[in-house]
Amino acid sequence: MPSKTALLIIDYTNDFVADKGALTCGEPGQVLAPAIVKLAEAMFKQDDWILLPTDVHTPHDPYHPESKLFPPHNVRDTWGRELYGPLKPWFEAHQAQPTVWQFDKTRYSSFAGTDLDLRLRERGITTLHLVGVCTDICVLHTAVDAYNLGYQLVIHEAGVASFNPTGHDWALGHFKNSLGASVV
The torsion angle over the Cα atoms of residues 40, 164, 142 and 94, rounded to 10 degrees, is -20
Question: Per 3-state DSSP, what percentage of the chain is helix, strand, and coil (rounded to 5)?
Answer: 40, 25, 40
Q: Which residues, 6+ apart, have CB-to-CB distance to 96 below 8 Å?
A: none
Q: Give me the mean pLDDT over the 88-99 stretch.
A: 98
DSSP-assigned letters across all residues of 130-146? EEEE-IIIIIHHHHHHH
pLDDT value at 72 more than 90? no
pLDDT of residue 68: 85
Name the helix (H) or strand (E) containing 89: helix 87-94
Q: Residue 24, by phi and psi: left (phi above 0), alpha (psi -120 to 50) or beta?
A: beta
**What's the whole-model pTM score?**
0.96
Q: Where are the domains of the chain?
A: 5-183
pLDDT of residue 66: 87
pLDDT value at 2 more than 70? no
The torsion angle over the Cα atoms of residues 114, 152, 35 and 56, rounded to 10 degrees, is 10
What is the distance between the alpha carbons of residues 107 and 67, in angstroms, rounded to a whole number?
11
Please check whether residue 132 is in contact with residue 158, taking contact to mean a CB–CB distance below 8 angstroms.
no
- Looking at CATH, the fold of the domain delimited by 5-183 is given as Rossmann fold (3.40.50)
Beta bridge partners of 8: 51, 130
What is the distance between the alpha carbons of residues 69 and 77, in angstroms, rounded to a whole number?
22
Give pLDDT tens digits for 12-71.
999 999 999 999 999 999 999 999 999 999 999 999 999 999 999 998 888 888 888 888
pLDDT of residue 1: 67
What is the distance between the alpha carbons of residues 161 and 34, in angstroms, rounded to a whole number?
14
Q: Work out the mean pLDDT of the chain and round it to a whole number.
A: 96
Give pLDDT tens digits for 150-161.
999 999 999 999
